[in-house]
Copies of this chain bind each other. A is one copy, B any other.
Amino acid sequence: MAETPRNLRVTVWNENVHETTQPEITAIYPDGIHGAIAAGLRELLPGAQVGTATLADPEHGLDEATLAHTDVLFWWGHIAHDQVDDAVVERVHQRVLAGMGLVVLHSGHFSKIFRALMGTTCSLLWRNEAERELVWSVSPSHPIAEGVPSPLIVPHQEMYGEYFDVPEPDGLVFISSFDGGEVFRSGITYRRGLGKVFYFSPGDQEYPVYHQSEIRRVLANAARWAAPGETPQHTPQVGNPARDWFVNDTKEVAG
Contact = CB atoms under 8 A, between A and B. Distances in A.
Interface string A179-201: 11111010000111111100000
A141 B228 contact: yes
A91 to B, nearest CB: 15
Nearest to A255: B140
Interface in A66-104: 93, 97, 99
A28 B124 CA distance: 38
B183 A238 contact: no
A22 interface: no
B236 A121 contact: yes
A141 B255 contact: yes
Contacts of A125: 238-241
Nearest to A1: B230
Most chain B Cβ neighbours within 10 Å, of A172, A229, A235: A229
A177 interface: yes
A236 to B, nearest CB: 4
A17 interface: no
B120 A140 contact: no
Contact of A127 (B124, B145, B168, B240): B240
B123 A238 contact: yes
Most chain B Cβ neighbours within 10 Å, of A120, A125, A239: A120
B241 A127 contact: yes
Interface in A130-187: 132, 134, 136-141, 143, 145-153, 161-165, 167-168, 170-172, 175-177, 179-183, 185
Contacts of A129: 243
Contact of A255 (B150, B214, B229): B150
A234 to B, nearest CB: 10
Nearest 4 CB-CB pairings of A with B: A150-B254, A140-B255, A137-B254, A165-B236
